[in-house]
Structure 1
């Protein structure tokens, strides 16, 4: 079996030509199962090790579970199979990856739990590798807010070039590469922008990059919505399943990219703006208190 044929065995249709079944391909199900088991094992070890911080670990576990469920819904549920023939379903799948699963997984801070799932003999080498100067330099370069925003934006626009989009539809390997780039750059994007302890000073930059991302993804959605011609005819062969014409299917997909996805990026920007204002007020209050005490 060729590599492309291996990836193309991912779609399992249910009875009847109008129904799509679950996707149970090993390139999808094995990594999903492995990630869930590794995280669960590490989280349980951390839970048993100490009673302190259990509320935080429960919250992180719930966030991870929600992100994992969104990831599975995008890649395993009938949404994935329908996405081969209905552009709107394809768009829903992509937004689940980038705007739902990615921020939830990043917010869960899973690295500690996943490291604790490893035996000590592996945990130490991984820790040393992560602190290697080359690795740290590369990570520092790509995880800057500007770099992460650019990489995420390039992935979104590049895969919507008709030639590449059609290649992803026709060849399973490219389809998975498309999903991997959306999820990977999405994880990087949210990691670079979501607040963490010690990063309160980065609120302003995060707000700006989230706002810019909502603008350019919204622009792509609007272009799909108002275009008088089909961009991806091969992805509209099943539009009648949802009672749509191919052009209506494209318009609905564009609307989903413009409004719901834009609300995620824009809503995150507003939330961080509120945290930024609160943090600035608290800092100003502390400085005023110190000045009064010093006087």
Structure 2
């Protein structure tokens, strides 16, 4: 099966040296990436979250301010994102459409929701020296920053931005450009992750603006339904298309007994089915909360 062959090749890449040719900065012996433009933000966020969590817990007590579940979610999401952009999967993703799709899905529907659940803004603020925190809070509340944030943090805005990132970067000219230009490739990954992080943060923690929790959960269900529809359409188009969209993306397809078109079809199925299942699972979670709770009061399900 192609999926098992993909796993076998990844294990082989970890176990033995190989030649690295492509746009990624990788160790030729292991094919692990060391791009500082991706590693620096990862380490900055990880170190900041750790320092902020420790300071917050020393001040308020363990598990207060940020829960143990949120800390576990953050580090699971952080590790997933780090492996997606630094492991041999990243190198393989430049040569196999299906691998590139797996990398993007790890960023958008695994790492992003976990890190959004962790609500990292609190620990990151606490990571600053105490004398800097009031000034940082005032800066974040300046109209020049607060007004754009109010716009992008609206559920519909976040849903649209996430959808635009998904569709625009799968347009053949832009996708091919990302495979040829390191800066554009970085921008592609950052766009996927940041738009997904915003999307999930708004669904999980978005301000109610006077709405009840039940109404916000209903809005989350609607946003996820829209996302399931448009991502499923894109996955279906990749799957049923009779032509290859990005010829240069499938250089390793033959290693798995696939043609370039079959590699694209597998990538489309990965977007269509696994991603759709994860979005649907999240939608069911919000739907359950929407149907069974309203400000702490339970409602029986009608049958």
Superposed, which structure 2 residues align to 1:187-202 within 5 Å? 187-195=197-205, 200=213, 201-202=215-216
What is residue 293 of structure 1 aligned with on the other side? none
Classify the secondary structure of the residue corresponding to 2:95.
Answer: coil
CA distance in 2, matches of 1:210, 1:27: 31
In the alignment, is residue 239 of structure 1 matched against residue 253 of structure 2?
yes
What is residue 162 of structure 1 aligned with on the other side? 172
Q: Could you tell me how far 1:240 is from its partner in structure 2?
A: 2.3
Among candidates 273, 277, 283, match of residue 259 of structure 1: 273
**Structure 2 length-normalised TM:** 0.85
- Deviations along 1:14-42, whole A, 9 cap, x unmatched? 45xxxx71111111112211211111111
Q: Could you tell me how far 1:54 is from its partner in structure 2?
A: 4.2
Among candidates 88, 96, 100, match of residue 90 of structure 1: 100
Q: Does the 8 Å CA contact 1:153/1:213 hold for their aligned counterparts?
A: yes
In the alignment, is residue 81 of structure 1 matched against residue 91 of structure 2?
yes
What is residue 279 of structure 1 aligned with on the other side? 293
Classify the secondary structure of the residue corresponding to 1:119.
Answer: coil
Q: Which has the higher helix share?
A: 1
- Deviations along 1:173-205, whole A, 9 cap, x unmatched? 100111111111111111111256866131111
Q: Could you tell me how far 1:110 is from its partner in structure 2?
A: 1.0
Classify the secondary structure of the residue corresponding to 1:121.
Answer: coil
In the alignment, is residue 120 of structure 1 matched against residue 135 of structure 2?
no
- Deviations along 1:107-129, whole A, 9 cap, x unmatched? 00111111111112322221101
CA distance in 2, matches of 1:88, 1:25: 22
Q: Could you tell me how far 1:50 is from its partner in structure 2?
A: 2.3
What is residue 179 of structure 1 aligned with on the other side? 189
What is residue 34 of structure 1 aligned with on the other side? 44
Structure 2, unaligned runs of 5 or more: 1-21
Q: Could you tell me how far 1:134 is from its partner in structure 2?
A: 2.9
- Deviations along 1:66-100, whole A, 9 cap, x unmatched? 11011112111111100110011111111111111
In the alignment, is residue 22 of structure 1 matched against residue 66 of structure 2?
no
Q: Does the 8 Å CA contact 2:108/2:193 hold for their aligned counterparts?
A: yes
Among candidates 35, 50, 61, match of residue 60 of structure 2: 50
Q: Could you tell me how far 1:57 is from its partner in structure 2?
A: 2.1
CA distance in 2, matches of 1:134, 1:197: 19
Classify the secondary structure of the residue corresponding to 2:31.
Answer: coil
Q: Does the 8 Å CA contact 2:97/2:263 hold for their aligned counterparts?
A: yes
Q: Does the 8 Å CA contact 2:155/2:220 hold for their aligned counterparts?
A: yes
What is residue 250 of structure 1 aligned with on the other side? 264
What is residue 162 of structure 2 aligned with on the other side? 152
In the alignment, is residue 132 of structure 1 matched against residue 142 of structure 2?
yes
What RMSD over aligned residues (CA atoms) do the two structures have, in Å?
A: 2.0
Classify the secondary structure of the residue corresponding to 2:293.
Answer: helix
**Structure 1 length-normalised TM:** 0.87
CA distance in 2, matches of 1:69, 1:9: 23
